[in-house]
Structure 1
Amino acid sequence: MNAILLTGGKSSRFGRNKALIKFESEVLIERITKTLKEFFDRVYVVGSDKRTYSFLKGVKLIEDVIPDKGPLEGFISDLVILRFNIIF
């Protein structure tokens, strides 16, 4: 079984990318992906710019097909890429 982690969002209320904040000496998204890898065969990280998360190891980075269209579009991007093996 695979995990799909949707990243991004405009962070308009928080003011910066929440996934990149430090939590107990780890970047939050690293902590989350490390935990997901314990339970899933593959972890896919979907976002508007995969360079933002290029430091993550052991995950597949996928860029939104149509950026800035919200979480449903991110999920659709992942399904299209996984189903048709399209890499952008």
Structure 2
Amino acid sequence: MMVSKKKIIGAGCIVLGVACGAAVGYAIATNSELRTAIGSLTHGILKRSKDRMSEMSEEVALHTAQVTRNPKFNQDWVASQWESIGY
């Protein structure tokens, strides 16, 4: 019984993917500097996103909420507007 090349390549890709994922997970779990760097990168990205949201107009926020079908986006924008005026 002969195994096809596609099945062998597919199995090899799965094994390689699992091995790479395990290596990355191990590196993140054991290296505190790497965890700190990833955390600060994530924090920076979220801060930039919030800054952009505070700069956009109501029409853009409403349109974005409609396109993404995410009403929380518009609710967050309204909440940030209330916070900016002190409520």
- TM > 0.5: no
- Structure with the bigger RCO (C-alpha within 8 Å, sep 6+) is 1
Structure index of larger Rg: 2
Report the structure, 1 or 2, having the larger helix content. Answer: 2
Q: More strand by proportion, 1 or 2?
A: 1
Normalising by structure 1, report the TM-score.
Answer: 0.23
Normalised by the length of structure 2, the TM-score is: 0.23
